[in-house]
Amino acid sequence: TEAVVGIVTQIIEAIPSIFAALIVIGIGYIIGGIVGKAVNKLIEILGIEKAFDQTDAGKAFRKAGIDLSNFVGSLVKAFVIVISVSVALQLLEIGEPTRSYILAIADYLPKLMGGIILLSLGFVLVEFLASYVRHILLPVFPEKHKELVDMLRNLLLIGLVAIVLSIALQMMLFTGEFVFSLIIGFVIIGVGISLGDTVVTSIVEDHEEFKPVAGYAKFILYSIFLLVGVAGIFSGFPGTEQVIANLAWGLAIAMGIMLVPIIYQLTKKMVAEAK
């Protein structure tokens, strides 16, 4: 029939483009392997891997059996291969609407891979930079205020991670109000935990009498920032304001009840010391 003849004709006509696409992918695989190995060697020669191994992320990589140079080299190789696949898909001569879908995939693949690479390398560089800043600031602060340096390092780390995450998501076309709210909420919660831990620890070190209530204080601060962060994340959804408001009231009442025994203990201790 004419339909069968038409399908066979399309397949025959597509064979040259299929071979061309396979050749492009093969060339991309070879070039990707060469470039990946070159990047791997370059990282080792420049000493980047050795410096990275001294950071917390580097130690975690080593513990997991991941080598930074191999990791980056593999990402570069994968990116080159993805580019070749994208080009190969565009060479295929296939009828509509399949061709439109293939071209859309070919156009999106480099963006997706670029975002993944940015996330992977960005988080590594952010950890390295934050640790480097901490190393510089340590001699500036007194030994007893070492936790302040850690707090600054954590705040810098959270901010840079949020920036990298935002850029990578935009590159992968994951945009919108919810994505922005999610990042803001993540930053608020992260900053709150870092600040709460540092502030309470610093107060306890200077005032031993507050040590029994340190756990309560951390819980209260964590809860506040967690609630604010969650509110920021879900602020774009209709109807969530009232739910969050009710949660806030419930949390406030619970914290008020929890403060009663704390105040009692502190008052009792102060009276005993006054005697």
What integer pLDDT is reported at residue 239 of this predicted model?
64
State pLDDT tens for residues 165-182. 888 888 888 877 777 777
Does the pTM surpass 0.75? The reply is no
What integer pLDDT is reported at residue 95 of this predicted model?
64
State mean pLDDT over 15-23: 84
> What average pLDDT is seen over the chain?
77
Whether the pLDDT of residue 235 is over 80: the answer is no
Give the lowest-confidence range in 43-52, 79-88, 126-135, 245-254: 245-254
What integer pLDDT is reported at residue 31 of this predicted model?
92
State pLDDT tens for residues 67-100. 778 888 888 888 888 888 888 878 777 666 767 7
Higher pLDDT, 61 or 244: 61
What integer pLDDT is reported at residue 26 of this predicted model?
92
What does the chain look like in DSSP terms, one character per residue? -HHHHHHHHHHHHHHHHHHHHHHHHHHHHHHHHHHHHHHHHHHHHHTHHHHHTTSHHHHHHHHTT--HHHHHHHHHHHHHHHHHHHHHHHH----TTHHHHHHHHHHHHHHHHHHHHHHHHHHHHHHHHHHHHHHHHTTTS-GGGHHHHHHHHHHHHHHHHHHHHHHHHHHTT--SHHHHHHHHHHHHHHHHHHHHHHHHHHHHHH-GGGGGGHHHHHHHHHHHHHHHHHHHHTTTSTTHHHHHHHHHHHHHHHHHHHHHHHHHHHHHHHHHHH-
| Residue 244 binned pLDDT confidence (cut-offs 50, 70, 90) | low
Whether the pLDDT of residue 29 is over 80: the answer is yes
| Residue 197 binned pLDDT confidence (cut-offs 50, 70, 90) | confident
Whether the pLDDT of residue 243 is over 70: the answer is no
Whether the pLDDT of residue 266 is over 80: the answer is no
What integer pLDDT is reported at residue 236 of this predicted model?
65
State mean pLDDT over 177-204: 77
What integer pLDDT is reported at residue 34 of this predicted model?
92
| Residue 30 binned pLDDT confidence (cut-offs 50, 70, 90) | very high
What integer pLDDT is reported at residue 240 of this predicted model?
64
